[in-house]
Amino acid sequence: MPATPKSLKLAAFALFCCVASQATAQEIAAVTTPAEQPPTVEKFEEPATPAPGQTNNSAFRFTYPVRDTGSERIYTEANPPAQANPDGTTPASDAGASDQASPDNVVTSFQDSPAVTGQEYAEMENLPAEPGADIGEGRFSKRPFRFSFSVNEGYNSNVNGSSTDPVESLYTSVAAGVDYDFGSSRLTLGVSLDAALSFYYNNEQLQNDGIFPTITLGISADYKAAPQLDLSFVTSTALLSQPDFAAGGGGPSNYAGDYISSATTLAATYRWLPKLQTITSYSPLIYYYLQPEGDNFSYFDQTVGQQFLYLWKPTTQLVAEYRFNLRNYLDLTNYNSVGNIGLLGFNHTFNPRSTMSFRAGAEQRTSENPVTGGNYNYIGPFGELTFTYAFAERTSIALTSRYGTTGTGINNYSQDQQFLVSLRASHRFGRRLTMGAFATYQNNFYAQPGGDIDGVDLTPSFSYNVFSAGLNGAYYIFPDTWSLNAGYTFTTLTSGNTARQGDYTQNIVFLGTQVNF
């Protein structure tokens, strides 16, 4: 018997009910008639899976960001995908939730801030949109490790940084490094290890027969423990034999034998409200001298910090911060101190290529007096500034500056006030030539009361200045693989009290080659 239109409709309705009982909410929204085809249905990488025999009628659920494979839009629990109406249209209340959070596209929370995504500024600057974050199962490549190997020949006019008996020498340096990056939807991890060994040929007056090692280990990790909670860990530990002026933090100003420098920060960021978040951190710092010339000024510095950040404008965070600091010397007595630091400042994003962070306030420190015993109190300014700007894809600059107390390296003084400013710039010419430049200025001021014994002041006020600058370049024979390298560094130290800190000048030049694979 031929099927009637009524029987065909009943059969189609029964088939639809059977399919709907096994479908997810997204699949139901996709069922349409050929005459009314709605916009392309978003298919997510991690759809919610209902229990066997049950229908999932709830909204799409997930525990971390998910990217729609069709539109490349990223959704979170705070910004879920809009659910389609039965007629295939999108509800007005949900349409464009991530793009029309408020009139004039005003950002109203840290999560939507351009400091995180930069999407709004990419549109304002007429730039290509930034690629979406990798939020799949992980970021993997066929070769997750990156290796480098280099050999340099150079000349150092004052290896031991001495003002009385400088040692000049040719040298050979061999270096190797490896980097590894891992990423997933909630965890990112980076590890780098670099090692170098320099041999100075004129080694009669140098330690270790003129063999200077350099080993640096860096680890960074970020874990999104919850929608409101981020945990981070950053550390850099190095075995060094020459001063590192750009680092600051109380390191040596001239050659002091091999030493270990280690700086670490553990931080927890919690978003309490859409515009309010806090950052709690712990930052240990270690300088340990293996073969000190004279007294061993090794010390252990610990800082506990608490920041309160308020999203004042879409691109500006207002910051109030408190830090508590302990500085303990490992081998010296009566050099320890306790500090309290109060700061106000801001974090600002000028555009996707430029950011700035500024802090200013006061530091109070109670220090032990190594000359007469007892304690003395110090109150002074404290400030920090960081600024980065990428003029274009191939050109960038970075500025860092700091003023505050640091650990001492001079007898009878338990601390000094240090001002540090460092500027770095780089530019790439085409695919083969890269040039870089840097300049660092450091002023260390020693002013400690209570150093009089029998009318003789053993701690007179004085200061010294350090200026270091250099140029370096790399010409790639094979782009990003094999390069010829050259560089020059000039360093000078001028002191207001040569009996406490001697003057010296140093010139270093090198030429070598490096392979990356």
pLDDT in tens, 75-111: 554 455 555 454 444 444 443 343 333 344 445 566 5
pTM: 0.73
Contact 212, 183 (CB under 8 A): no
| Mean pLDDT in residue range 387-411 | 91
Q: How many CA atoms lie within 13 A of 320 on its CB side?
A: 4
Give me 398's structure tokens: 């970075």
SS3 label, residue 28: helix
Lowest mean pLDDT across 143-152, 268-277, 278-287: 143-152
Contact 175, 199 (CB under 8 A): no
Would the pLDDT of 369 be above 60? yes
How confident is the model at residue 413, as a pLDDT? 92
Domains of the chain: 145-516 (2.40.170)
How confident is the model at residue 483, as a pLDDT? 95
CA neighbor of 336 nearest in space, from 308, 301, 306, 371: 301
Would the pLDDT of 441 be above 80? yes
What does the DSSP 8-state code read for residue 9? H
Round to whole Å and give the CA distance between 462 and 407. 16
How confident is the model at residue 110, as a pLDDT? 65
Would the pLDDT of 156 be above 70? yes
SS3 label, residue 450: coil
What does the DSSP 8-state code read for residue 68? B
pLDDT band per the 50, 70, 90 thresholds, residue 155 = very high
**Tens digits of residue pLDDT in 477-490:** 998 899 999 999 99
Round to whole Å and give the CA distance between 88 and 85. 5
Contact 425, 399 (CB under 8 A): no
- Look up residue 37 and give its amino acid: Q
First vs last C-alpha separation in the chain: 75
pLDDT band per the 50, 70, 90 thresholds, residue 455 = confident
Main-chain phi, psi angles of 222, to 5 degrees: -140, 130
Mean pLDDT of the chain: 80
How confident is the model at residue 209, as a pLDDT? 87
Of the chain, the percentage scoring pLDDT greater than 70 comes to 72
List C-alpha distances in Å: 127 to 131, 393, 434.
Answer: 12, 12, 24
For 184-298, strand residue ranges (E) read 187-200, 211-226, 229-240, 259-273, 276-289
Contact 485, 476 (CB under 8 A): no
Of the chain, the percentage scoring pLDDT greater than 90 comes to 55
- Look up residue 83 and give its amino acid: Q
